[in-house]
Structure 1
């Protein structure tokens, strides 16, 4: 009788032990989640570790795999106490909110709060590329993407500057490229002498009052100031998961860093003391104004820095310097209102010469309000006129639908507009992809071949 009871009680004891272990595991999950870490059930595969030590296929993929190594656990999303910096004040938070939205009661949407710098898979066709959903954050993501491409192709030490080299980008190199891109942009906003980096601390620094509406992350901002670009870049890389980790609010943190690097006072001066906010809010959608694009590309939050057609309004103070990253724009609706021959585009469709002709062939493109990146792999393209006869460019728009980089061939000695002089020239912009029309704002009359790819914006 006793043996039978033992047979029935033994499984129950084992179940209780298993339940106890599961309960302990859940407790640890809560602790890791609170600390900004995560527990993963995935296994570590050779060549696919977090550091990107080798391309896919290294090692034996069919053999038994070791458990996830402790070193592969993501870094915290929050800076621990004692890291340094200074906490944001209520006055700073209110001024920041007014610059962005025009009032202190408006907060970012869930789309913005959830946005961070997320790369595609390393060692893939888009290993260099950031994923960017449709929405207002895409402007910032694609502007940073342009700087990432600039770094991977032309800045880091490499003897290869072609598309295949971008496809071989490892996870480690993704983090390095993002740190360099963010540091470059912040340093330019700081006038080449300073950068301020905003990170999240675990505790709230201020108590909201009056009309100020808390959002649970602005109140936890910790500011870190640097007077050397290398030190700022190293600090960003050491805390890279604070920008590229899920739940990090990475895009907003970068936007805050950009404004504090420029200083809130100088941003207001850039806006010419107007009350126009930096972000447009319409039916719940939050989008970037031209002032934000100008800040991302030139270091100044002045829309007239971009437009060649606004020279008189800006007192002739237009961005004529050739920066490392350029800007091209095409707005089909604009052309509809003011039709002009595509080889003599209205100044409203163009940006200033310094941004159409950057030092390196990388452009942020605004295409009827949507953004992508156009780039070449030949650093001589904009410095040697002989390379501009027939050449290759590549286009990436950040959307998940694009699974490989579009390859375009540009011929500047063909003139399709002369084929049918009776055709309404403004209709060509309606039938051709906006990216082609943006290219023609730089190379008037050029033909664009998509090399077998279906054209898209």
Structure 2
């Protein structure tokens, strides 16, 4: 089934927002217009659907290529329109400040294509503040009063544009007549260009090209357009001109309103002005406000369509009312962090770690599963997967009373349960007293120096500290895209867990203080897995601490698990008598286990909590297995038989028993496992 126009359009907008880094806007869009199975998440597929592969290749060859597919399409149509205007001679209709078209060179562009626009910086320095006041105070009908000696000037990087402006046909200079244009030409919006010759001279000229049809103008007068606030800002000094600009813009607005013939239209203008809105044929220049003047709680997004009707009900703001002070990462803490994570401040995360986030499977029956791209961070992913399943199966009510139905969660449910899982892990790491959330702010806070190797992450990191679990959940909700979809998502969680626990306490938890949390080949150590599972980076999986006599009257303290865990752990190493998993991990509060088998971590879980408390030796129950790295395509349901029921099943050669069954038998001795027609994982 081919995607609809709406799905392709939505995917195109999401690609634009993603390439521009507008993560909060994407989150708002996903909330108001959720993704569907037909949504296109692949950029190459989107190019094919839009048939713009050639345009994409041409764009890549440009000196300054645009970054998004939407810009490529817009650029193509602007250049095409520009070419048509030159071919048909429309460019001769551009009016210079002399009031005559004959003095203007034929073939000069009436519309600036995007390549030119990229070279023009639409910013006015503080020295030009008086010039901005002057042009803002000139009514449209007085454009011909600009000095004739100035003559036409070419576009240059000092130009700036005042866009989104309509003018009535009766207000245009005499050389332009309505009968000289087709109906199509009348409906086009054009650009008012204002050029500055140098910093101290007055503004040289103003141009108005082609009239806008009366019908189109009247229809658009009920719409509101705001000029982008940062357009006229270069530095702090430009703020001083704010009051003067607003006053001049208001005078210009009054003069334009007087030109409206209909009393009804005039009344519409006054209604909008009373609400603090700006009409289409009015330019209002507003300087950038200080941060303390912004009330983010009242920010509203309004859609403007061609019907002339403005939406009365505002969208819900995606900016939370909670505000938390962030602390930028510094060089000292970065060095300490890299040392405890990787063993040295000169080490760097592997590509597998950098590209790993908490993204979910697209397979219908495995929508609850977090996908692992490549080997390495499996211990982190399996631990978060376990807590995610706890939230999804036993604490979530969106899936109904039937627990099996909860294994088919919606996208919003998955995201919500992921936030709750991350919240629980970090809150427990902070001893349920405080927690730290690390995010990528996108800009560097310090310059690397000394015995340190930069990889472009820690320098851009900002940390938020909270002292209650509700605030922790709010921060994670605000930045969940960085963990779920962005790069460094897995790394950010590990850093947050270490900082929540504190670097000093993580070292104290370990048997050997110099042990890194990420070992050889990028694998997670047991200390890192234990930090996520039980909140402490202890080195062992047995219950409590054990003292060993190391000779000469010295005792060695081996630290283990102190309390029963919410989710557990089973290890193949116990089958080979390398370690002993204690009851605190083997019998957790919920029937969910992280499985350590042959240096890889995966997840095993059941749907009934009763199997943990039932003392009956003759049991038969189902367990589900998920491995995010194995490219799993179907649900794996195992039927486990214990006691007398296990003896009824056929006994196979011990050498052919899958490692997963051996792990299960460390919890249920001599259990037999039926793979229910699923191919056993050897």
TM-score by length of 2: 0.51
Counting only pairs closer than 5 Å after superposition, residues 391-402 of structure 1 correspond to structure 2 as 391-399=621-629, 401-402=631-632
Structure of higher CA gyration radius: 2
Out of 564, 576, 594, which is 1:364 matched to?
Answer: 594
Q: Pick closer, same or farther for the CA change 1:312–1:444 going to 2, 3 Å.
A: farther
Match for residue 117 of structure 1? 358
Q: Does residue 348 of structure 2 align to residue 107 of structure 1? A: yes
Q: Pick closer, same or farther for the CA change 1:419–1:401 going to 2, 3 Å.
A: closer
Counting only pairs closer than 5 Å after superposition, residues 235-246 of structure 1 correspond to structure 2 as 235-246=475-486
Q: Pick closer, same or farther for the CA change 1:309–1:35 going to 2, 3 Å.
A: closer
Q: Does residue 572 of structure 2 align to residue 330 of structure 1? A: yes
> Is this contact kept in 2: 1:146–1:362, CA < 8 A?
yes
Q: How many residues align?
A: 380
Match for residue 98 of structure 1? 339
Q: Does residue 525 of structure 2 align to residue 295 of structure 1? A: no
Distance in structure 1 (CA, Å) of the matches to 2:608 and 2:648: 30
Match for residue 382 of structure 1? 612
Distance in structure 2 (CA, Å) of the matches to 1:400 and 1:51: 34
Match for residue 502 of structure 2? 263
Out of 633, 642, 658, which is 1:433 matched to?
Answer: 658
Q: Does residue 325 of structure 2 align to residue 88 of structure 1? A: no
Residues 351-379 of structure 1: CA distance to partner in whole angstroms, max 9, x if unpaired? 11100000110001001111111000012
Residues 25-60 of structure 1: CA distance to partner in whole angstroms, max 9, x if unpaired? x9x9888635355999xxx9xxxx667969869xxx
Shift of 1:291: 0.6
> Is this contact kept in 2: 1:53–1:170, CA < 8 A?
no
Distance in structure 1 (CA, Å) of the matches to 2:416 and 2:631: 26
CA RMSD of aligned residues (A): 3.5
Distance in structure 2 (CA, Å) of the matches to 1:416 and 1:375: 20
Residues 83-139 of structure 1: CA distance to partner in whole angstroms, max 9, x if unpaired? 6310111110000011012211111111111111111138x2011111113411121
Distance in structure 2 (CA, Å) of the matches to 1:195 and 1:102: 24
> Is this contact kept in 1: 2:604–2:626, CA < 8 A?
yes
**Higher mean C-alpha displacement, 400-409 vs 142-151:** 400-409
> Is this contact kept in 1: 2:567–2:592, CA < 8 A?
yes
Counting only pairs closer than 5 Å after superposition, residues 8-19 of structure 1 correspond to structure 2 as none
Q: Does residue 672 of structure 2 align to residue 447 of structure 1? A: yes
TM-score by length of 1: 0.75
Q: Which has the higher contact order (CA 8 A, sep 6+)?
A: 1
Match for residue 175 of structure 1? 415
Match for residue 492 of structure 2? 253
> Is this contact kept in 2: 1:390–1:409, CA < 8 A?
yes
Shift of 1:320: 4.9
Out of 122, 136, 141, which is 2:381 matched to?
Answer: 141
Q: Pick closer, same or farther for the CA change 1:207–1:31 going to 2, 3 Å.
A: farther
> Is this contact kept in 1: 2:538–2:561, CA < 8 A?
no
Distance in structure 2 (CA, Å) of the matches to 1:128 and 1:410: 22
Q: Does residue 418 of structure 2 align to residue 184 of structure 1? A: no
> Is this contact kept in 1: 2:509–2:559, CA < 8 A?
no
SS of corresponding position for 1:395: strand
Q: Pick closer, same or farther for the CA change 1:358–1:32 going to 2, 3 Å.
A: closer
Q: Pick closer, same or farther for the CA change 1:161–1:447 going to 2, 3 Å.
A: same
> Is this contact kept in 2: 1:361–1:382, CA < 8 A?
yes
